[in-house]
Structure 1
């Protein structure tokens, strides 16, 4: 009689599969349970208006505000526009921050990868010899002697193909907090890039106008040297005729030589400004030059946002705020370490000692199951890490608030500078006119022989000093004008943090509702700005 035996498949697989499915469902149910504090922007004290804008400024209409991404074009200087374009393409400081932004963007992708399982594949083959057990057999020879023979070991082959997968569900929000932290870091890096670009652009414009002011001073010095040369010639002629003493000639000669030395010295400052511009535009100073052209520009009217809008316009403020947001998320990451972690793992494949039978059903294998792990004792490590994360957040909040205060100071400083210099240049122009008139009168009196040459020296020196001061004030006004544009954030807006490309070139112009400067005022510029601005009368 024959009996037939049927083997039933083991029940382990369905149970393991059920356990894995239940663990996954539990993980998904708990995935939204993120621990740690939710971020809110730190409160800062924002003034209702600018103090230095109280006199001579008024609230402008929203239409006064326009698209001014390339804010330097308000100065209508083709040479400056060309230099700014070179800077946006070749400035190495901007290139450094652009690379830092790309790194921050990559870190976001790295953090997001933790949301998904890790799957790996493997394949291998081995050939192995194992020793036999310690046993010998003897054979008796024809001469009666015994010969011991040991059995040889076995040789086996092993081939395998496997697939492994593991996934750690984000039960307590550790991964999401990390992703949010890196995203805030990416936005902060975009703001840092924008701030580096704006700083370089403003530095270039200020240095450029400083150079043009030195060109105006150089022209004044050259004219003064020529005038003093004529005075020296006049005194020499009068001395030959016996009209004046030798001392007058010496004084005229000394005055001329002093003016010549000042003209030469002015070239040092101009050369340094020119070299600084070369570095900003990414060119060697040895091969870079800017033709001389005296400054003849006046500051354009620059509308300014209300103080509350400054928080959205300044990239350095946005960067500091994003760093605080990133630090807040790190608190949640530190708190999540107090809770257990669940890891779901699965592996399967084929393994056989015969290669031809590797991909057959009897050669398959698999494992599946969850693993729960928790730290019981760490001597206060996690508590210390949490406290450190909270302290880092507090530090970043303080930095953010300090940055806001410094921003308001920056705006107030430049508003005050423009307002005061505007009044000063009017008075200084009057002083120049008076000094020139007095010089002409004294020179005519000297030619008539009614006054001594000391009076001429005094009048000429007074006129030259007044004219030099006027040229200096004109340059300072332009520098302060650029400083105000920079203090107001240039053409940047906080919305650009999510659209920054990370390239060295300047970003696209900001929308009309977010640009802080206008080419002219009060002439309206088409735009849909809703934020009131302050414009100079």
Structure 2
């Protein structure tokens, strides 16, 4: 008799398992396909549309930036920056969820050991039989497994995976932004240094000019107004020196934050020796999908929402759950581990939601809306990327042209100042001509440095816009 029961039990178990695996092939979950984005085909606004798949973003930042100080600071920033470390912790959190998603196919297994003491009414049916009290001991385990009939577990796993990859892409985006910020801040420091050097030189020149103009006044060639105007120009340059020193102080503090350090002075080179030899290759617009971390993160967000929509849709269908429990159960502790104390239970059931206060329908509608939102964010990320690439490229071209004009302007103003000063000494020019030439020359020299800075910054911005730096 026991043999028949045993065979029947195992036969039912095998039947339920076969049914589970048979139904598991009936997936309703859709497969993700990258959407066609017609409005993002011509992302780069330029007369020379790129046809080469090679992009400037494929170049390592160690190759792009040749300044040894800058490379050292970027290396330190990647190691110590607070935002980088926060992003790493986000990856660790996402990885934990990813591992949980991969374990979705596995059954849940629990074990328990209990001792129950129950006082029964002595006049009750069981109380009189057990003399008013009963003790029961149990050592058991239970196992539960859900068959992935409609692909819900698989979609959940893929959603967790997409979430993990999105956190990785977000970390890469932080690296790209950090490298760009460190380079930009470093170049700003070099530009401020150069502007300060020019201002200090101008101060020395104007201090000498004040003495010269005083001598001319004593000789009766100019009035006190000319002396006062020269003194005013001298003090104007001194005030500019204070502004530049303050800007350098603040910029060094900004660089300290980027490097995860306390505020301090940083050693650096000069702006005149900065040369970027890398070809400014854009690559075809499609390269943004594999190079630009924020675009990749946006697509992973779309994949995650797509898979979660699969999960929400599968909740409309019945779920098949297989549950089993077994162990030892006895009224006497010393007989707990005997063969007669063994018990086992196997339950296989289909659960179909019928009425649950509209929760499943709401979840499905919300999932669809979130999927559409993720798609729009993905499209926007591509459009923003194309806009940033176009702006950076145009800025570089414009600043390169402007730099030549600025240099010509400085050379002309230097000649004007020299000639005006010579003519004034000989009584052939008005002191106002000299003051105007001097003020214009200082502004032009500062503008030349700013134009050089803008060239460097536009290359940095282009590098970031194309998604360089994180590889």
Query: Structures share a fold, TM > 0.5?
Result: yes
Q: Alignment partner for residue 189 of structure 1, among 167, 171, 179?
A: 167
The reply on whether 1:340 has 2:328 as its aligned counterpart is no
- Given that 2:109 and 2:144 are in contact with CA atoms closer than 8 Å, whether structure 1 keeps it comes out as yes
Work out whether 1:290 is the aligned partner of 2:266.
yes
Report SS of the residue matched to 1:33: coil
Alignment of 1:32-47 (within 5 A): 32-45=25-38, 46-47=40-41
Match of 1:168 among 127, 141, 146: 146
Asked which structure has the greater RCO (Cα within 8 Å, sep 6+), the reply is 1
**Unpaired runs of at least 5, structure 1:** 1-7, 135-149, 493-509, 511-537
Separation in structure 1 between the aligned mates of residue 133 and residue 197 of structure 2, nearest angstrom:
98
1:27-106 matches, cutoff 5 A: 27-45=20-38, 46-47=40-41, 50-52=44-46, 54=48, 68-69=59-60, 71-106=61-96
Which structure would you say has the larger Rg? 1
**Secondary structure of 1:231's aligned partner:** helix
1:102 match: secondary structure: helix
Q: 1:47 to 1:370 in 2, by over 3 A?
A: closer
In 2: Cα distance, 1:186 partner to 1:274 partner: 35
Change in CA separation of 1:358 and 1:292 when aligned onto 2, cut-off 3 Å: closer
Matched pairs, number:
465
Give 1 or 2: higher helix fraction.
2
Measured in 2, the distance between the counterparts of 1:465 and 1:453 equals 19
Shift of residue 444, structure 1, vs aligned partner:
1.1
**Structure 2 residues without counterparts, runs of 5 or longer:** none
2:450 partner SS: helix
Helix, strand or coil for the counterpart of 1:350?
strand
What is the aligned-residue RMSD (CA, Å)?
A: 2.4
Give SS of 2:329's match. strand
Separation of aligned partners in 1, 2:89 and 2:25: 34
Output one character per residue of 1:259-313: Cα deviation in whole Å (capped at 9) or x when no partner. Answer: 111111122222221111111111122xx21246541124433332122222211
Does the 8 A contact of 1:132 with 1:154 survive in 2?
Answer: yes
- Please state how far the C-alpha of 1:404 moved relative to its aligned partner: 0.4
Structure 2 match to 1:250: 228
Say if 2:295 is the partner of 1:317: yes
User: Counterparts of 1:430 and 1:280 in 2: how far apart (Å)?
Assistant: 37
Choose from 425, 431, 445 the match for 1:467. Answer: 445
1:400 aligns with 2:378: yes
Higher mean alpha-carbon deviation, 10-19 vs 201-210, is at 10-19
TM-score of the pair, normalised by structure 1: 0.82
Alignment partners' CA distance in 1, 2:209 and 2:408 = 25
Partners of 1:61 and 1:389 lie apart in 2 by 36
Query: How far has the Cα of 1:379 moved from its partner?
Result: 4.3
Task: Say if 2:400 is the partner of 1:422.
Answer: yes
Task: Tell me the distance in 2 between the aligned counterparts of 1:292 and 1:67.
Answer: 27
Using structure 2 for the length normalisation, give the TM-score. Answer: 0.93
Q: What whole-Å deviation, never above 9, does each CA across 1:317-370 have from its counterpart, x for those lacking one?
A: 101011111111111101111111111111111122222222111111111121
